[in-house]
């Protein structure tokens, strides 16, 4: 896709060059090759577009020192002077104190690395499939119907190469795509949103998305005003992802042990083992989950509170953060896990919420709702109080009143104040788990699978006049 002239050093060679140049006691090098194509539209016209190729190289130098191992990192995006990068990482390691997250470098990982010398996988505008060619027709038909489409389609492929002085040579190709759109009618007074996340946009079509949008728009022809208050709500899988992604992010072992998390126990320790819901929820990450496959080894250019550069290359497995409705695991890097006497646990690039055995569709949940609000998606979600994991945010592009199992009209938007931990305990019923795209968080986590949920007493704190 790029204007590449093919003169960039091959990624696997960059890994070798870094390791050959390394003078430190240990070294990890990560090359992420990125290829992307995108098209954006609004007001029934394409606005911006782009294709790009990028390469990120991270070098992590490890130095044995008094009391442990010190770390220095340096990274680049773009064409790289490998030697300069190695020396910068080593200079940073030379003055660093022993790291708190030190652990022996990983020596073995899955999968077998016989593809390491393969070039990165590239995408191009062709990677947008029929989306590009379908837009013009969709715009013309929307204009004729008095509606306006705005949205975005993107296809990107990241190819990761990870090498270490301990012999790791790992490669993984992670393609990610999405199509999302809003349809607005009556000058914006009625609107609907729909989206699809997929590895490959060949199976995603504007026509199908537009049908979903038109159906939702038709629900909004009768307008109703409702006041703020606590409502029963029906959350489609996308909206569940909006609330559950922050729940996944809140599973820090260290924060919980330090008493500064929703998962801290009063008097010390964590809430692991505690029941969070009477529903048999499983919240997990799993790099091998069908349809949500992602990088099956840990790749990180920087340490954080529960993730460590020492753990690069660590095989990732299915990890249940919540199991049978109970808090099961928290995130720990290996050093933290050893200190706490637990197993290390790291998230993958996906997140799955499921009630095993649940088979109901969203429509069936709506059908069993006596009176409640059907939401579309949530927006501008921010932490308010980490102690309860209270989040605030807005409903957006479609709130509908359900009475006696039927959608009877569309309702104004609301600001909510609600905790995803409480969401689990207030769940009345969960549907079957399916691929979902969080509108708020998909740039950071595209691969999610969520059930639709019926939830009691959802706190709509105030009315938003926004449309």
| Ramachandran category for residue 305: left, alpha or beta (phi over 0 → left; psi -120 to 50 → alpha) | alpha
Site for other proteins in 216-245 (CB under 8 A): none
**In terms of CB distance, is 199 or 354 closer to other proteins?**
199
Chosen residue from 41, 160, 332, 400 binding other proteins by CB under 8 A: 41
Binding mask 431-450 for other proteins (x = CB under 8 A): ------------x-------
| Sole window of 178-186, 317-325, 362-370, 445-453 interacting with other proteins (rule: CB under 8 A) | 178-186
Q: Are 313 and 297 in contact (CB under 8 A)?
A: yes
Q: Establish if 266 lies at the interface with other proteins (CB under 8 A).
A: yes
Q: Are strands 68-77 and 45-65 parallel, antiparallel or unpaired?
A: antiparallel
Chosen residue from 196, 282, 295, 303 binding other proteins by CB under 8 A: 303
| Ramachandran category for residue 44: left, alpha or beta (phi over 0 → left; psi -120 to 50 → alpha) | left
**In terms of CB distance, is 166 or 461 closer to other proteins?**
461
Chosen residue from 21, 25, 44, 165 binding other proteins by CB under 8 A: 44
Q: Establish if 422 lies at the interface with other proteins (CB under 8 A).
A: yes
Q: Establish if 188 lies at the interface with other proteins (CB under 8 A).
A: yes
Q: Distance between CA 299 and CA 60 in Å, rounded?
A: 12
Q: Distance between CA 334 and CA 330 in Å, rounded?
A: 12
Question: How many CB atoms are closer than 10 A to CB 262?
Answer: 21
Q: Establish if 21 lies at the interface with other proteins (CB under 8 A).
A: no
Site for other proteins in 51-90 (CB under 8 A): 51-55, 72-79, 88-89
Q: Establish if 415 lies at the interface with other proteins (CB under 8 A).
A: yes
Q: Distance between CA 401 and CA 420 in Å, rounded?
A: 22
Question: How many CB atoms are closer than 10 A to CB 99?
Answer: 22
Q: Establish if 210 lies at the interface with other proteins (CB under 8 A).
A: no
**In terms of CB distance, is 187 or 341 closer to other proteins?**
187
Q: Establish if 396 lies at the interface with other proteins (CB under 8 A).
A: yes
Task: Name the residue among 464, 448, 451 with its Cα closest to residue 358.
Answer: 451
Question: Which residues on neighbouring strands pair with residue 181, listed in sequence order?
Answer: 151, 194
Q: Distance between CA 12 and CA 114 in Å, rounded?
A: 12
Chosen residue from 27, 168, 182, 402 binding other proteins by CB under 8 A: 182
**In terms of CB distance, is 106 or 423 closer to other proteins?**
423
Site for other proteins in 83-112 (CB under 8 A): 88-89, 91-92, 95-97, 99-101
CA quadruple 42, 47, 52, 58: dihedral sign: negative
CB of 144 to other proteins, least distance (A): 12
CB of 396 to other proteins, least distance (A): 6
Site for other proteins in 127-146 (CB under 8 A): 132-133, 135-136, 139, 143
CB of 203 to other proteins, least distance (A): 20
Question: How many CB atoms are closer than 10 A to CB 383?
Answer: 12
Q: Establish if 330 lies at the interface with other proteins (CB under 8 A).
A: no
Q: Establish if 161 lies at the interface with other proteins (CB under 8 A).
A: no
Q: Establish if 45 lies at the interface with other proteins (CB under 8 A).
A: yes
Chosen residue from 18, 283, 381, 445 binding other proteins by CB under 8 A: 381
Q: Distance between CA 451 and CA 431 in Å, rounded?
A: 5
Site for other proteins in 269-298 (CB under 8 A): none
**In terms of CB distance, is 9 or 165 closer to other proteins?**
9
Q: Establish if 148 lies at the interface with other proteins (CB under 8 A).
A: yes
**In terms of CB distance, is 2 or 323 closer to other proteins?**
2
| Number of residues counted as binding other proteins (CB under 8 A) | 105
**In terms of CB distance, is 113 or 314 closer to other proteins?**
314
Chosen residue from 66, 225, 227, 267 binding other proteins by CB under 8 A: 267
Q: Establish if 184 lies at the interface with other proteins (CB under 8 A).
A: yes
| Sole window of 111-119, 261-269, 323-331, 359-367 interacting with other proteins (rule: CB under 8 A) | 261-269
Q: Establish if 147 lies at the interface with other proteins (CB under 8 A).
A: no
Residue with tokens 């652990």: 103
Task: Name the residue among 355, 378, 368 with its Cα closest to residue 460.
Answer: 378
Question: How many CB atoms are closer than 10 A to CB 441?
Answer: 21
Q: How much is the CA Rg of the chain, to the nearest whole Å?
A: 24
| Sole window of 239-247, 256-264, 331-339, 402-410 interacting with other proteins (rule: CB under 8 A) | 256-264
């Amino acid at each position: 896709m790029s204007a590449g002239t093919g003169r960039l050093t091959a990624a696997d060679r960059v890994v070798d060059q870094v390791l050959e140049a390394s003078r430190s006691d240990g070294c990890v090098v990560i090359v992420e090759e990125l290829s992307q194509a995108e098209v954006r539209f609004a007001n029934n016209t394409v606005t911006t577009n782009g294709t790009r190729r990028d390469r990120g190289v991270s070098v992590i130098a490890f130095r044995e020192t008094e009391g442990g191992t010190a770390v220095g990192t340096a990274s680049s995006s773009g064409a790289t002077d490998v030697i300069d990068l190695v020396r910068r990482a080593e200079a940073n390691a030379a003055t660093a104190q022993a790291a708190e997250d030190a652990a022996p470098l990983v020596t073995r990982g899955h999968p077998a690395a016989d593809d390491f010398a393969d070039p990165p996988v590239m995408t191009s505008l062709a990677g947008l499939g029929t989306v590009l060619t379908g837009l013009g027709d969709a715009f013309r038909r929307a204009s004729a119907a008095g509606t306006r489409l705005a949205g975005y389609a993107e296809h990107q492929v990241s190819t990761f190469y990870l090498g270490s002085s301990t012999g790791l040579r790992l490669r993984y190709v992670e393609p990610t795509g999405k199509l999302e759109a809003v349809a607005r009618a009556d000058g914006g007074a009625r609107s609907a949103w729909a989206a699809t996340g997929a590895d490959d946009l060949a199976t995603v079509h504007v026509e199908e998305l537009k049908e979903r949008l038109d159906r939702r728009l038709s629900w909004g022809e009768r307008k109703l005003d409702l006041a703020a208050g606590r409502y029963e709500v029906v959350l489609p899988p996308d909206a569940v992802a909006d609330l559950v992604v922050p729940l996944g992010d809140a599973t820090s072992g260290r924060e919980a042990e330090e008493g500064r998390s929703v998962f801290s126990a009063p008097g010390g320790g964590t809430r692991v083992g505690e029941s969070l819901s009477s529903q048999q929820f499983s919240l997990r990450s799993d790099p091998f989950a069908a349809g949500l496959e992602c990088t099956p080894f840990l790749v990180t250019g920087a340490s954080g509170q529960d993730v460590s550069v020492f753990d690069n290359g660590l095989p990732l497995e299915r990890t249940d953060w919540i199991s049978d409705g109970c808090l099961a695991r928290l995130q720990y890097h290996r050093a933290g896990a050893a200190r706490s006497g637990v197993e290390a646990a790291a998230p993958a690039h996906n997140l799955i919420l499921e009630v095993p055995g649940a088979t109901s569709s969203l429509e069936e949940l709506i059908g069993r709702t006596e009176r409640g609000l059907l939401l579309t998606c949530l927006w501008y979600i921010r932490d308010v109080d980490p102690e309860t994991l209270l989040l605030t945010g807005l409903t957006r592009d479609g709130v509908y009143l359900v009475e006696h199992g039927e959608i009877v009209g569309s309702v104004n938007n609301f600001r909510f104040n609600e905790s995803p931990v409480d969401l689990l305990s207030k769940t009345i019923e969960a549907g079957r788990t399916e691929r979902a795209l969080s509108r708020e968080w998909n740039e950071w986590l595209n691969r999610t699978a969520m059930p639709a949920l019926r939830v009691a007493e959802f706190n709509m704190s105030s009315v938003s006049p926004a449309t």
